[in-house]
Amino acid sequence: MRPQALTIAGSDSSGGAGIQADLKTFIAFGVYGASVITAITAQNTTGVRAIHAIPTDMVTAQLEAVMEDLDIKAVKTGMLPNVECILAIAAEMKKHPGVPLVVDPVLISTSGCYLSDPKTLSAMREILLPLAVLVTPNLQEAQTLTGIELKSEDDWVKAGENLLSTGVGAVLLKGGHSSDEVARDMLFTPEGPTDLFARRCQTRHGHGTGCTLSAAIAAGLAKGLPLPEAVFRAKNYLTTALEHAFEVGAGPGPVDHAVGMESRW
């Protein structure tokens, strides 16, 4: 049977991030994808114009419908617009303690639009992270979640350890937006930090990279991979997808989620 995974996130009307990016990534990994939509955004490659949060009872209804029927092997979250949404997700995940949860703390869009308020951030940290096997913040998100300004390697370690103290199983601190010559991430587990390096792609087209990476990790977990291997494969996939990113619209275009798939036909 094909592995099944669930994305709980917002809809990106331009198709490069959010639910759309997650489902494309699941397909690329040979995983069947289901979705729970938490918010509808009106956006394109130049920015977010409007956000409509889905009512909490509808989020709950979507979650229950999927989890009751499908054999979900991994779950990832993306944009979570309010505290009530987080509480609904946490309540459902507690019913399924054996299903790994990956939290991508989507706090700000690529174009600079803030998508979460302080109360929502606190709920994510205090309620959702303790239920997750992994959280995947970029540098800005890590600074917001921990209050630690990331200027040095010691700061990275402090932030990673701070997030581990929430009870989350592991932390992938993403340095893709730094100015380093290589793309460096750090994976923090209770055993300590591990450096992960990838070649840096010189492109302005990187819409949806965070969504894509976390979805790829969830797909690997759904296929039964150990967390470190799921992270490694996801990073390789994202690097290749970035190298083949293409222009859509006037702003930063999306990564190529289907990279390598065309040859199958």
Residues in the chain: 265
Q: Convert the pLDDT of each residue in 20-32 to its tens digit.
A: 999 999 999 999 9
Domain that holds residue 67: 4-264
Domain count, the chain: 1
Name residue 227's amino acid: L
CATH of the domain at 254: 3.40.1190.20
DSSP 3-state of 125: helix
Q: Is pTM, for the whole model, over 0.85? A: yes
SS (H, E, C) 9-75: EEEECCCCCHHHHHHHHHHHCCCEEEEEEEEEEEEECCEEEEEEECCHHHHHHHHHHHHHHCCEEEE
Q: In whole angstroms, what is the distance from residue 222 CA to residue 74 CA? A: 5
**CA 160 – CA 119 distance, rounded (Å):** 21
Q: Give residue 254's pLDDT band: very low, low, confident or very high (50, 70, 90).
A: confident
Count of H helices and E strands in the chain? 8, 9
Q: How far is 258 from 103, CA to CA, in rounded Å?
A: 23
Give the pLDDT confidence of 45-79 residue by residue, as tens digits: 888 899 999 999 999 999 999 999 999 999 999 99
DSSP 8-class letter at 211 = H
